[in-house]
Structure 1
Amino acid sequence: MRFIILLFSFVVSSVSICLAIPDTIIDVIAPSSKGSELNLQLIEDYLESIGVKANVPENIYSDNEPLYSNTDEFRAESLVKALTNPKSIAIWCIRGGRGASRLIPYLEKLPDDVKKKIAQNKNRKILMGFSDISVLHIYLQNKYDWSTLHSPMLEQIVDNKISQDSIDKLELLISGYRNNIKFNLKMIDNGIELNDGILESKVVGGSISLVRASIGTCWQIDTKDKILFLEEVEPDPALLELRLEHLKQAHILDEVQAVIFGDILCTNDEQLLELVKHRFAQSVNFPVFTLNGIGHARTNYPLPLNTRAVINHIKGNRFSMTVDMPAEWRRR
């Protein structure tokens, strides 16, 4: 992969494997809430340490904007520049929070020639982030059929809020050293079985709140024949059940192939949370799985979205899922 400059360490039998190829650029953007000014240099240092040059917009944060990292116009312009930048191979978000949905009207009004450039970059670069960034994942998948990467944020990494195992797996993917990632799933028994023990599709989704927020918009999530992944920070299991019920009644789940619950952080009642998941599974006619290690916890493994994914039955309620990185992106 001649475009990568990723230098990383992967220990196999106590041997460190490194990869470094010149001229890799990653666009760093803040499309949602404001991060720490002090972390900007740490972010550049981190990317440099893995052999990547950071392209950070000048004046990325504004003191005059009380709610978001900057004005809607600035954030939208930074995003569009990153989406159309012919020299970068990825767009990595600093943090989530709120505000990404306010950029959609700007993306919708882009001139046709700019939209064409974004379309041409399909699978040539990836958007990285999660939480509020789910808005942009869904929009790019719907409008341009982009493949993206549900992943930790840069600020989480430099603040030491992400496990090293999660970072290692992420670096293996974006380096091209690994072309896919494998997960262990557990099925919630609802009487549904996979044909021949296999399900092949694409994974979409992210934050339940943002998937729900897409309903009725120009970027409403398309789940037809897809595997829907859902994660959330929801302290009240009753509210989670209402959100899932909304997805059902809004027909978001009518033609879905399966639902996977990632980490749903609940501080009130874990037993009640499990009850909500099981009641949901019993109310639908498709497979429902759980997957630990993707979401708002310290462990947050990368999950490629809108790429080939294969679920295989292992034994009992245990399954595996292998998800590919975009083939065209890997070949660059």
Structure 2
Amino acid sequence: MSKNNFSLQPGDTVDVIAPASGCHPEVIEKFKTFLTGWKLKYHIPEDIFGSDLLCANSDEKRFNQLSAALSNSHSKAVWCLLGGYGSPRLLPLLEKLKPIAQHKLFIGFSDITALHIFLQMKWGWQTIHGPSGRQAALSQVSASSLNSLKKMLFSEKNTLTYALQPLNKLAENDSTITTSIIGGNLSLIQTSIGTRWQINPTDKILFIEETNERAYKVDRMLGHLKQAGILDQAKAIILGDFTGGAEPGGGNFVADTLKIFAEHCNIPVLHLAGAGHGESNYPISFGPPVALQMGNHSSLEWI
């Protein structure tokens, strides 16, 4: 991320929320230590976890904590503790709020994709698809991806560049696309279709990642995006990691499914390794301008 007005400084406050699934309370203490190590202050609701069948807390409690974090004028960022399940249930409530003018950094991935899409489509916010608070607290992702996130949040260097791999002929052409990125987890992108906050990647780069979905399910979801016209006006597609998805009898056909998908796309498709649910989870800033360089030395750079 470069030339971005939204950045952290030592001493800034981060709101920590759990808008989807919950986790062991010990994670909170470890995340406090992590944030302190980055010289950040934190605000964490005392009742962040509560009684709910599927989520970290009731819809009402999770929404109240989300809206309070988004509107907190004393914090510079909102960091989601983890994904899992539950964020889409909050969107009808979030839609009733007046868009908050004071933009701030918003960090998370997986189920948090629902909030990324809403905040971009309805409020015009820039957000960061990156490691969850739990991943950071428990060192569940590579140190290099956490270091990249720190550089992105604190604007410690002018540019952040990722190497990409072209997946179809159009991506092999030596050319550059300058636009912004939108997207996230494939299941949550699909879930947005037909809602009032449906994803719209027109003239943008669509980023997609997924985990633990077998090849036929991945193919079905990508086919749904095509048939719904979601891909029609996108400038390009970047596929992150598609982890897991093994067949019950052994073998894994996800990579081959993605290869076929890319070959049949009429826009460039590239692969960004280490973005998603794998051992690394390199951050991607949604909203700011990027330069997507294609060809033999394909890369993605925030400009």
- TM-score between both structures, scaled by the size of structure 1: 0.84
Aligned partner letter, 1:259: I
- Is 2:57 the partner of 1:37? no
| Alignment correspondent of 2:240 | 262
Tell me the SS of whatever aligns to 2:77.
strand
CA distance 1:275–1:73, change in 2 (3 Å): same
Task: Tell me, yes or no, if the aligned pair for 2:246 and 2:252 is still in contact at 8 Å.
Answer: no
CA distance 1:81–1:180, change in 2 (3 Å): farther
Aligned partner letter, 1:47: L
**In structure 2, which of residues 149, 152, 175 is the aligned counterpart of residue 173 of structure 1?**
152
| Alignment correspondent of 2:118 | 139
Aligned partner letter, 2:17: I
Distance 2:106 2:159 in 1: 16
CA distance 1:191–1:305, change in 2 (3 Å): closer
Aligned partner letter, 2:22: K
Q: C-alpha offsets along residues 73-92 of structure 1, whole Å, 9 cap, x if unaligned? A: 11111111111111111100
| Root-mean-square deviation over aligned CA pairs | 1.9
Tell me the SS of whatever aligns to 1:262.
strand
Distance 2:79 2:154 in 1: 14
How far the C-alpha of 1:298 sits from its partner, in A, is 1.5
Distance 1:49 1:208 in 2: 33
| Alignment correspondent of 2:185 | 207
| Greater C-alpha Rg | 1
CA distance 1:105–1:251, change in 2 (3 Å): same
**In structure 2, which of residues 58, 61, 76 is the aligned counterpart of residue 71 of structure 1?**
58
How far the C-alpha of 1:208 sits from its partner, in A, is 0.2
Q: Which has the higher contact order (CA 8 A, sep 6+)?
A: 2
For structure 1, the residue ranges without an aligned partner over 5 or more in a row are 7-21, 325-332
Distance 1:83 1:180 in 2: 27
For structure 2, the residue ranges without an aligned partner over 5 or more in a row are none
- Is 2:34 the partner of 1:46? yes
| Alignment correspondent of 1:283 | 264
Distance 2:212 2:192 in 1: 18
How far the C-alpha of 1:255 sits from its partner, in A, is 0.5
- Is 2:142 the partner of 1:163? yes
Task: Tell me, yes or no, if the aligned pair for 2:166 and 2:295 is still in contact at 8 Å.
Answer: no
| Alignment correspondent of 1:28 | 16
- Is 2:216 the partner of 1:243? no
CA distance 1:2–1:217, change in 2 (3 Å): closer
Distance 2:169 2:107 in 1: 34
| Alignment correspondent of 1:12 | none
Task: Tell me, yes or no, if the aligned pair for 1:192 and 1:285 is still in contact at 8 Å.
Answer: no
| Alignment correspondent of 1:296 | 277
Aligned partner letter, 2:96: K
Distance 1:221 1:142 in 2: 7
How far the C-alpha of 1:179 sits from its partner, in A, is 4.1
How far the C-alpha of 1:162 sits from its partner, in A, is 1.1
Aligned length: 296
Q: C-alpha offsets along residues 304-331 of structure 1, whole Å, 9 cap, x if unaligned? A: 011101011352xx4011025xxxxxxx
Distance 2:7 2:195 in 1: 36
CA distance 1:3–1:134, change in 2 (3 Å): closer
How far the C-alpha of 1:3 sits from its partner, in A, is 7.8
Q: C-alpha offsets along residues 35-77 of structure 1, whole Å, 9 cap, x if unaligned? A: 2111111111211111101100121101x21211111111111
Q: C-alpha offsets along residues 113-160 of structure 1, whole Å, 9 cap, x if unaligned? A: xx24x1x123xx111000000000000000111100001011112222
Of 223-232 and 158-167, deviating more is 158-167
Distance 2:7 2:141 in 1: 27
How far the C-alpha of 1:191 sits from its partner, in A, is 4.5
CA distance 1:26–1:264, change in 2 (3 Å): same
Task: Tell me, yes or no, if the aligned pair for 1:190 and 1:281 is still in contact at 8 Å.
Answer: no
- TM-score between both structures, scaled by the size of structure 2: 0.92
CA distance 1:2–1:153, change in 2 (3 Å): closer
Tell me the SS of whatever aligns to 2:195.
coil
How far the C-alpha of 1:180 sits from its partner, in A, is 3.4
Q: C-alpha offsets along residues 236-273 of structure 1, whole Å, 9 cap, x if unaligned? A: 11211111111000111110111111000134277732
Aligned partner letter, 2:258: K
Task: Tell me, yes or no, if the aligned pair for 1:5 and 1:50 is still in contact at 8 Å.
Answer: no
- 1:74-223 map, 5 Å: 74-110=61-97, 115-116=98-99, 118=100, 120-122=101-103, 125-191=104-170, 197-223=175-201
